[in-house]
């Protein structure tokens, strides 16, 4: 039943919200057992409240002093993952940064030279990046040059690194000095023995733990074709303390019998910090989102529920899996994990919305702005139970409101100045299953944590400020979010990475991160970019001829990230609704603040002033004394002002 299978960037101190129509109920059915799915749509029957200009009200980090970017790898092979993409970057304690991707330099669908594309930045200085590789990294090894895929890298030992990938099982290479000399390998991680089926391991993720990064952890999966219509999916975990001998067995999920036919290829990511290791498992539809956490370098494990699936079970036999017809369900899609310096496990995952209204494998899913969002959790919190970033507006039938939940959500489609013109039909909806993110506008989140526990997130989302691709589809860009260690709320970057002319026809996918970095508030990410929507590989691939994909690596740092709130006032971001209004408007605030709400008529005359103490959430303001007409409502707090046009009925 389980599936087989950036040049101006600003980190902004908040976001603006707006009223929007609720997600439509109608959708076309697809099959859960295949990759191709059809989608429903947003319906737009109401109006969108205008937003104040982000350029006038945002504190933006200057790219030219805080953002650096370079091309690391070129590849025509574009399917970097069947799901999550992780463990393809690291930063060492001396600042060295490495990145790896599946690479082919052949402009065809044969990819006979497929292998590891790798680049290295010495001491974290972008001017010290290596040349773009011409051949796969396996050719720079002491052993055989084999065709591989799904590379994963990690620091290893005092100064070295380890590369793991698959090719008729799992292979690994080690070198004593990261970024220099030949790799020693390939060596094989042995396939498991003594099991019911002869599993061959694939789709690896590697991390290393311990004071010297000398304990190796690999999570992977395998599929065995039992018969023409039965495929067994199994999860595995491999561990080595000496780089030669391996403990290979089922994933720690086996302790609760969740290692078979629940999670599949690329439904997992792994991270470590010190002696703490965490594996995150998420899958669409069928199961809970879980973290398996070890505080003793993988010897023992604790199972923690990240998100509790209210419709968990067998779709074909269990009526508890049926979703209400009038309330579609949410499900995690792509996820990412990072471990903080204090051992806290952090998880982010994109969210999709679907309906499964009767027994069987038929389902529907929805796409559009009102089903968007990237959720956030850490292991100091209880399990998430509700993934809705958008909430129904009980006062206005036909609307849905952004909940402004920046605690449980860390990413969403930015509120660009032209958001009122958002066109759901411009979302790319071809058959490329991994591209679609199962309907979410935002996907492929990548988390990174610094030595003091500050967090940064990068993800791929629609860029509605650029022209439509061929007049029909939005481009994607890379978006940034940030959370200080001493804060609960995430601050979302509304500036996209692709504003510069160099990226006029680019879009990004497969975002990755160095999960833990060496310097405070200096974070490293990568993404894969080309200029055509869709993929040349994978289920439902829409490109008949591969495009050249650039893997960009970028570093972002800023004084804001270091906490300059003493000199920069906090922006109270808000939404004013309903619109039109009659007796009350509501100011939805992101924080507690003393505020002044001023109403000005179209002649520029101030007609009403309200001094109020805003609290986080909804705050009612009476407008009973205003005549019918058009007014400009200005909310001023903490030195910032936002103006919204309001129609009073």
For 503-520, write each residue's pLDDT tens digit.
777 889 999 999 999 999
Q: Please tell me whether residue 57 adopts helix, strand or coil conformation.
A: helix
pLDDT at residue 266 above 70? yes
Greater pLDDT, 301 or 63: 301
Residue 397 binned pLDDT confidence (cut-offs 50, 70, 90): low
- Residue 430: the pLDDT is 83
> CA 42 to CA 369: how far, in whole Å?
8
- Residue 26: the pLDDT is 26
Mean pLDDT of 169-198: 96
pLDDT at residue 16 above 90? no
- Residue 366: the pLDDT is 85
- Residue 564: the pLDDT is 33
- Residue 6: the pLDDT is 22
Greater pLDDT, 167 or 414: 167
Residues 449 and 339: beta-carbon distance below 8 Å = yes
- Residue 152: the pLDDT is 98
Query: CA-CA distances (angstroms) from residue 66 to 396, 522, 637?
Result: 43, 9, 28
Greater pLDDT, 568 or 229: 229
Residues 278 and 324: beta-carbon distance below 8 Å = no
Residues 3 and 540: beta-carbon distance below 8 Å = no
Looking at residue 624, what DSSP letter applies?
A: T
> CA 264 to CA 281: how far, in whole Å?
9
- Residue 636: the pLDDT is 82
Residue 433 binned pLDDT confidence (cut-offs 50, 70, 90): confident
Residues 534 and 543: beta-carbon distance below 8 Å = yes
Residues 481 and 13: beta-carbon distance below 8 Å = no
Greater pLDDT, 642 or 548: 548
Residues counted in the chain:
649
Nearest of 589, 581, 594, 586 to residue 625 by alpha carbon: 581
Mean pLDDT of 182-202: 96
CB atoms near residue 295 (< 10 Å): 15
pLDDT at residue 51 above 90? no
Mean pLDDT of 77-98: 95
CA 426 from centroid of its chain's CA atoms: 21
Nearest of 289, 264, 269 to residue 279 by alpha carbon: 269
Q: Three-state SS across 90-158?
A: EECCCCCEEEEEEECCCCCCCCCCCEEEEEEEHHHCHHHECCCCCCCHHHCECCCCCCCEEEEEEEECC
Instruction: Give the least confident one: 301-310, 322-331, 348-357.
Output: 322-331
pLDDT at residue 61 above 60? no
CA 377 from centroid of its chain's CA atoms: 13
> CA 413 to CA 219: how far, in whole Å?
31
Instruction: Give the least confident one: 54-63, 220-229, 291-300, 481-490.
Output: 54-63
Beta-bridge partners for 239: 217, 247
For 591-649, write each residue's pLDDT tens digit.
778 888 999 887 778 999 999 988 877 788 999 999 988 888 888 877 666 677 777 88
Beta-bridge partners for 238: 218, 248
Residue 43 binned pLDDT confidence (cut-offs 50, 70, 90): very low
Residue 590 binned pLDDT confidence (cut-offs 50, 70, 90): low
pLDDT at residue 417 above 70? no
User: For residue 497, what are its two tokens?
Assistant: 């990475």
Q: Please tell me whether residue 622 adopts helix, strand or coil conformation.
A: strand
- Residue 402: the pLDDT is 74
Mean pLDDT of 234-248: 98
For 323-343, write each residue's pLDDT tens digit.
988 888 999 999 999 999 999
- Give the chain's domains with CATH numbers: 63-557 (2.130.10.10), 570-649 (2.60.40.2550)
Q: Label residues 622-636 b or e (16+ Cβ within 10 Å = b).
A: ebeebeeeebebbbb
Mean pLDDT of 558-562: 52
* Secondary structure (DSSP) of 346-402: EEEEEEEEEE--SSSSEEEEE-SGGG--EEEEETTSPPB----SEEE-TTSTT-EEE
- Residue 368: the pLDDT is 81
Mean pLDDT of 342-356: 94
Mean pLDDT of 294-306: 98
């Amino acid at each position: 039943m389980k599936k087989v299978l950036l040049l101006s960037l600003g980190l902004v101190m908040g976001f603006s919200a707006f009223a929007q129509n609720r997600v439509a109920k109608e959708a076309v059915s697809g099959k859960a057992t295949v990759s191709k799915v059809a989608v429903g749509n947003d319906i737009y029957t109401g109006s969108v409240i205008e937003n104040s200009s982000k350029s006038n009200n945002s504190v933006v980090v200057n790219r030219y002093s805080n953002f650096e970017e370079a091309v690391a790898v070129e590849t025509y092979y574009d399917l970097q993952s069947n799901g999550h993409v992780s463990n393809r970057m690291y930063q060492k304690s001396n600042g060295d940064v490495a990145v790896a991707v599946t690479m082919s330099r052949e402009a065809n669908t044969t990819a006979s030279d497929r292998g590891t594309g790798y680049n290295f930045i010495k001491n974290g200085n972008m001017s010290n990046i290596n040349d773009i590789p011409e051949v796969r990294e396996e050719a720079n090894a002491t052993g055989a040059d084999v065709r591989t895929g799904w590379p994963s890298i990690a620091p290893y030992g005092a100064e070295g690194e380890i590369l793991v990938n698959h090719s008729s099982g799992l292979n690994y290479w080690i070198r004593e000095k990261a970024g220099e000399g030949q790799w020693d390998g390939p060596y094989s991680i042995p396939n498991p023995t003594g099991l019911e089926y002869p599993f061959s391991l694939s789709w690896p993720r590697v991390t290393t733990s311990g004071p010297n990064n000398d304990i190796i952890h690999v999570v992977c999966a395998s599929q065995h074709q039992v018969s023409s219509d039965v495929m067994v999916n199994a999860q595995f975990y491999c561990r080595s303390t000496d780089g030669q001998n391996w403990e290979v067995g089922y994933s720690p999920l086996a302790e609760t019998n969740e290692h078979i036919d629940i999670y599949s290829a690329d439904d997992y990511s792994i991270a470590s910090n010190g002696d703490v290791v965490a594996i995150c498992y998420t899958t669409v539809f069928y199961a809970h989102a879980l973290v398996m956490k070890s505080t003793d370098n993988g010897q023992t494990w604790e199972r923690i529920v990240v998100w509790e699936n209210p419709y968990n079970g067998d779709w074909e036999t269990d009526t508890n899996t049926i979703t209400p017809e009038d309330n579609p369900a949410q499900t995690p899609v792509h996820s990412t994990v990072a471990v903080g310096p204090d051992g806290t496990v952090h998880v982010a995952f994109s969210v999709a919305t679907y309906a499964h209204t009767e027994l069987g494998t038929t389902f529907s899913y929805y796409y559009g702005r009102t089903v968007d969002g990237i959720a956030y959790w850490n292991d100091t919190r209880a399990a998430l139970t509700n993934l809705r970033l958008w909430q129904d507006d009980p006062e206005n039938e036909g609307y849905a409101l952004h909940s402004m939940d920046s605690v449980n959500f860390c990413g969403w489609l930015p509120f660009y100045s032209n958001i009122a013109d958002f066109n759901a039909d411009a979302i790319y909806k071809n058959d490329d299953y991994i591209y679609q993110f199962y309907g979410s506008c935002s996907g492929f989140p990548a988390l990174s944590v610094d030595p003091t526990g500050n967090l940064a997130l990068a993800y791929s989302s629609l860029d509605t400020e650029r022209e439509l691709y061929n007049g029909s589809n939005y481009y994607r860009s890379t978006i940034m979010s940030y959370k200080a260690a001493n804060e609960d709320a995430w601050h979302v970057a509304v500036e996209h990475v692709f504003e510069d002319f160099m990226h006029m026809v680019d879009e990004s996918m497969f975002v990755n991160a160095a999960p833990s970095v060496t310097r405070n508030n200096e974070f490293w990410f990568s993404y894969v970019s080309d200029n055509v929507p869709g993929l040349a590989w994978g289920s439902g691939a829409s490109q008949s001829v591969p495009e050249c994909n650039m893997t960009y690596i970028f570093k972002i740092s800023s004084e804001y990230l270091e906490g300059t709130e003493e000199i920069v006032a906090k922006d109270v971001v808000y939404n004013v609704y309903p619109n039109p209004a009659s007796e009350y408007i509501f100011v939805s605030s992101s924080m507690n603040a003393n505020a002044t709400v001023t109403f000005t008529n179209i002649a520029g005359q101030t007609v009403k002033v309200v001094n109020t103490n805003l609290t986080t959430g909804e705050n009612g303001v009476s407008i009973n004394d205003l005549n019918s007409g058009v007014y400009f409502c200005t909310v001023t707090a903490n030195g910032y002002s936002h103006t919204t046009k309001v129609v009073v009925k």
